[in-house]
Structure 1
């Protein structure tokens, strides 16, 4: 599983991988969920990326690891989960923005202090729900607490849109590198009128 995942990430363009991760399962202990929203970050040439211009620090060192490396960083009080997508030295990755819980909902609700779609409808929220912390940073996926299983569900429709929360950086702000399952209630800022009763999955 891990070898196949690493090879797939290594040989797949980061935006393509970000779309393909929709419907994959994120698993941490007893908690699991279907990934419904991602964002692609394209390394040295991407003004919104932590490695823009080849910037390399102790904080973003995991980004320079091999495909399948977990990159967790902290923003305010929240941690955010990313997966490195390219060979070592090519600092591209995918931010996991939202998941649809499939198991461990009671545990997640207790950690978040709430239940329902808002429990995991953002990158900081899902890390809190799954108890993902900086201790998970720079570790291989599927060789520790954080697991990833590909292609479990297929979205009926994938929407691409500008990334959320990116400061005004020209093309980096406008780039349609956020991908989400159309109509899924757990996607960031999904309007009630747009929610699909089937969750946006193929029937």
Structure 2
């Protein structure tokens, strides 16, 4: 079994979503390499999840990527913004992970130019991080992670000191999964969407390794 298949299947989607926190997501953009550590992500559990795009087995051209092999990239739009999702579980089991926040690492100058923002506003939301990466279309939808310019380093990364779970943000108000605690984030990281300043850990950003200098 290859590394991508092993990472994105074989465990509950909720666990895979937590495991992706601290992994480095990168994009070799036309302007240069941009990357960031994943600090916030949401799990979507497919046909049984009333907030999921594949609820009750819904399958369309728009959400076909969710039915792909584990590690298939699913890019979609919401309120005019592009979102980055990764299909998990075996092919035809349409579960996925929405990446919601990144702590920038490489290409911060490129991301700043793309966004016109600095600090946590750069990538503290799913539409923001795609804008920062300069992804404004679905060109990489239905492609495999690590097979093209969008990659996740699954072998190394940062270790969260504590992972917090909460209800997902902005999901459809239907069924019993609306308020399910399938959003996971690194406690204290400033690049988590909606993170209040009083809750930010300025010393470590919520990582258990290599504390930041103030």
Q: Same fold judged by TM-score > 0.5?
A: yes
Shift of 1:59: 0.2
Report what 1:114 is aligned to. 117
Report what 1:172 is aligned to. 177
The structure whose residues are more often helix, as a share, is 1
3-state DSSP of counterpart to 1:136 = coil
8 Å Cα contact 2:51/2:173 also seen in 1: no
Give me the TM-score of the superposition, normalised by structure 1. Answer: 0.96
Shift of 1:172: 1.4
Which digits, 9 at most, give the CA deviation of each residue in 1:44-97, with x for residues without a partner? 010100000110101000110000000000112211000111111000000000
For structure 2, the 5+ residue unaligned runs are 210-214
Query: 1:60-139 counterparts in 2 under 5 A?
Result: 60-132=63-135, 133-139=137-143
Report what 2:24 is aligned to. 25
Partner Cα distance (1:169, 1:50) in 2: 12
8 Å Cα contact 2:39/2:101 also seen in 1: yes
Partner Cα distance (1:171, 1:162) in 2: 12
Q: CA RMSD in A?
A: 1.2
Partner Cα distance (1:33, 1:8) in 2: 19
List, as ranges, runs of 4+ consecutive aligned residues in structure 1 with deviation greater than 3 Å: none
Report what 1:140 is aligned to. 144
After the TM superposition, which of the residue ranges 147-156 and 38-47 deviates more from structure 2? 147-156
> 1:202 aligned to 2:205?
no
Shift of 1:170: 4.2
Partner Cα distance (2:160, 2:206) in 1: 6
Shift of 1:8: 2.2
3-state DSSP of counterpart to 1:103 = coil
Query: 1:148-163 counterparts in 2 under 5 A?
Result: 148-150=152-154, 151-163=156-168
Report what 2:43 is aligned to. 40
Equivalent residue for 2:188, pick from 183, 187, 196: 183
Partner Cα distance (1:5, 1:167) in 2: 30
3-state DSSP of counterpart to 2:66 = helix
Which digits, 9 at most, give the CA deviation of each residue in 1:140-164, with x for residues without a partner? 0000111001241000000000000
Partner Cα distance (2:119, 2:168) in 1: 24
Query: 1:3-22 counterparts in 2 under 5 A?
Result: 3-22=2-21
